[in-house]
A and B are shown apart, each in its own frame.
Chain A
Amino acid sequence: MNSEDTGAEQRLVVPGDQIDAPPGSQPGSGVLLRGESLVATKLGRVQVSGDTIHIVPTNTTYMPRSGDLVIGYVEAVMNNLWFLDVNGPFNALLPMSLAPWKVEFGAARQYMDFGDAVMARVMEVDETHSVVATMKGVGLRKIKEGFIEEIPPHLLSLVIGSNGRTLQRIKESSDCRIVVAQNGRILIDGDSEGMATARKAIDIIVNTGHAPGLHDRLTSVIGGDV
């Protein structure tokens, strides 16, 4: 049984803690196999998915993976490429050949300058964590309006909810366009009242999402029911 289904408070562990697991359990993310036993490598909650044991960390850094949708900020502009801050350890490189415009050499800054926000997709990550991003694709663009909320990336699944239901509720109640990027940044675009409602709901999820009763707490802010 998956631990998410039980509704029980998941056990907190610290690095080095041995995890009590049935024999044959496999180490998932945040878990190390030491001899026969499973050991936590991160501070977080134990989550059982089938026969795999994961740690859902209480704090983590975004590590880009190929195919991730990300919201980045332009941090440096060269003649033929941009460097994007994608909330990871390394900046992503966006070459002008992967931009949605026909950019001439040396004119990159006319299209995007420092501080501009972009919706991009991670195209390639090599083993040394060099990241190449692309803006060629549906919905990938320069962001001109809306608010970008930043949350710890490991809490994104709580914002999205099971089958996207929580996100759908927030979208419907706030009447905002909301795009959740995998690097922990969320684009909220709508009228100011709706954006405030959406931000409040996200705030509740981030601060109290791991505790039971989230559904009721959200209902008190955004109303409605699933």
Chain B
Amino acid sequence: MGGYGDVQLLREDGKRLDGRAVDEMREVEIKAGFLPAAEGSAWVKHGLNVAVAAVYGPMEAHPRKIQRQDRAVIDVRYNMAPFSTSDRIRPGFNRRSREISKVTAEALESVVLVERYPRSKIRVEIEILAAEAGTRCVGITAASVALADAGIPMKDLLVGVASGKIDGIVVLDLDKAEDNYGQADLPMGIMPNTGEIAFLQMDGDLSPEEYDLATEYNFKAAHEIHELMKQALLDSASGGDV
């Protein structure tokens, strides 16, 4: 989120550099049950972002100090592959991946019925194979589909979406240039059926009106992505039909 320099991110015709309208999302593709070895899994392509999520458990929480007597803990590991960006990323955990793992786990705890599995752990692995801005949102969407695919009880699916501000205009779903040189970014985790927000971060400045518009864009996109998530899960579940 640079917000500086003379990079023009909106064309004269009001469209964005990649030709999208301000309230237009990048293309999204979702597949559920992608990894046979995991209990639940998902593959999500959002623009040029590609994320794979795998779910294991519920299992006994180790070390025992992380156990909660009244509910399960969700252990998320978000990781970007070394080849996911143009500069090689040093493998392993870093400050950013720790932060995203933590906020993703907290967001997922809002939708998973964790009280059904006391003292247990549900392990969620999110691997970003290709990154182009908005990977935490793609990770949340993938994790949510993988959890549902694993048969973990949830009160709703969770959709990760983001809006932001470029050249003083609120736009939906920032790409890499817009994320780097734009003025604000508002990623959200939205439960489309209940309309609740399980996760919200804001980078940069938005006025209350801009915030409302960005939220409106996010909800609109969340409903679109939700339909794709549902379709992916239904396709996966009916895959064994004769």
Q: Which residues of A contact B (CB under 8 A)?
A: 12, 14-18, 30, 32, 34, 39, 41-44, 57-61, 89-91, 127-129, 207-208, 210-211, 213, 217
Task: Pick the most buried of B40, B57, B58: most chain A CB atoms within 10 A of its CB.
Answer: B58
**In the complex, which of the residues B57, B60, B151, B157 contacts A58, with contact meaning CB atoms closer than 8 Å?**
B151
Verify if B69 is at the interface (C-beta below 8 Å from A).
yes
CB neighbours (8 Å) of B184 from chain A are none
Partner among B60, B156, B242 whose Cβ is within 8 Å of the Cβ of A90: B60
Knowing A43-B148, A61-B39, say if A14 contacts B155 (CB, 8 Å): no
* List of B residues within 8 angstroms of A59 by Cβ: 39-40, 149-151
Q: Mark B213-242, 1 if CB is under 8 A from A, else 0.
A: 000000000000000011001101110111
In the complex, the answer to whether B118 meets A128 with C-beta atoms within 8 Å is yes
Kindly list 4 other residue pairs between chains A and B, CB separation below 8 angstroms, not including A89-B117, A208-B240: A14-B233, A17-B193, A43-B233, A129-B120
Among A12, A16, A58, A89, the residue within 8 A (CB) of B191 is A16
Inter-chain contacts of B236 with A (CB < 8 A): 58
Given contacts A14-B234, A58-B151, whether A129 and B118 have CB atoms under 8 Å apart is yes
- B153 proximal to A (CB < 8 A): yes
CA of A129 to CA of B72 in the docked complex: distance in angstroms? 11
Q: How far is the CA of A217 from the CA of B240 in the complex (A)?
A: 14
Docked-complex contact B69 and A61, CB < 8 angstroms: no
Could you say which residues of chain B place their CB within 8 Å of the CB of A208? 240-242
Q: State which of A16, A30, A44, A207 has its C-beta within 8 Å of the C-beta of B237.
A: A44
Interface membership of B192, Cβ < 8 A: yes
B58 and A16 within 8 A (CB): no
Q: Which residue of the partner chain B has the closest CB to A126?
A: B118
Chain A residues within an 8 Å CB radius of B157: 14-16
Q: Tell me whether B113 is interfacial, beta carbon within 8 Å.
A: yes
Most buried by B among A12, A15, A32, A59: A15
The chain B residue with its CB closest to the CB of A90 is: B60
Determine if A89 and B242 form an interchain contact, defined as CB atoms under 8 angstroms apart: no
What are 28 A-B pairs at a CB distance below 8 A? A12-B234, A15-B153, A16-B156, A16-B157, A16-B193, A16-B194, A17-B230, A18-B193, A32-B113, A42-B148, A42-B154, A58-B151, A59-B39, A59-B149, A60-B151, A61-B39, A61-B57, A89-B57, A89-B59, A89-B120, A127-B118, A129-B117, A129-B118, A129-B119, A208-B241, A210-B240, A210-B241, A211-B240
Instruction: Say whether A12 contacts B156, CB under 8 Å.
Output: no
Q: Is B39 a contact partner of A15 (Cβ separation < 8 A)?
A: no
Collect the chain A residues with CB atoms within 8 Å of residue B57's CB. Answer: 61, 89
**Contact A211 to B242, CB < 8 A, known contacts A89-B120, A129-B117:** yes
Which residue of A is nearest B147, CB measured?
A15
Residue of B nearest to A30 (CB): B153
Instruction: Tell me whether A41 and B155 are in contact (CB under 8 A).
Output: yes
Chain A residues positioned under 8 Å from B242 (CB to CB) = 208, 211, 213, 217
Is the beta-carbon distance between B155 and A16 smaller than 8 angstroms? yes
Taking CB as reference atom, which chain B residue is nearest A16? B156
A214 to B193, CA, bound (A): 35
- Chain B residues with CB under 8 Å of A90's CB are 60, 119-120
Least CB distance, B180 to chain A, in whole angstroms? 34
> Which residue of chain B has the shortest Cβ distance to A214 in the bound complex?
B242
Chain A nearest CB, measured from B222 CB (Å): 12
Q: Give the residue name and chain of the A residue nearest to B60 (CB).
A: A90
List B contacts of A16 (CB < 8 A). Answer: 154-157, 191-194
Known A61-B39, A127-B118: A43·B237 in contact at CB below 8 Å:
yes
Give 1 or 0 for each of B131-169: 1 = CB within 8 Å of chain A CB: 000000000000000001111111111000000000000
A32–B236 Cα distance when bound, in Å, is 23
- Residues in A with CB closer than 8 Å to B237 are 12, 43-44, 58
Residue ID in chain B nearest A152 by CB atoms: B151
A-contact 0/1 string along B165-207, CB 8 Å cutoff? 0000000000000000000000000011110000000000000
Q: How far is the CA of A213 from the CA of B156 in the complex (A)?
A: 33
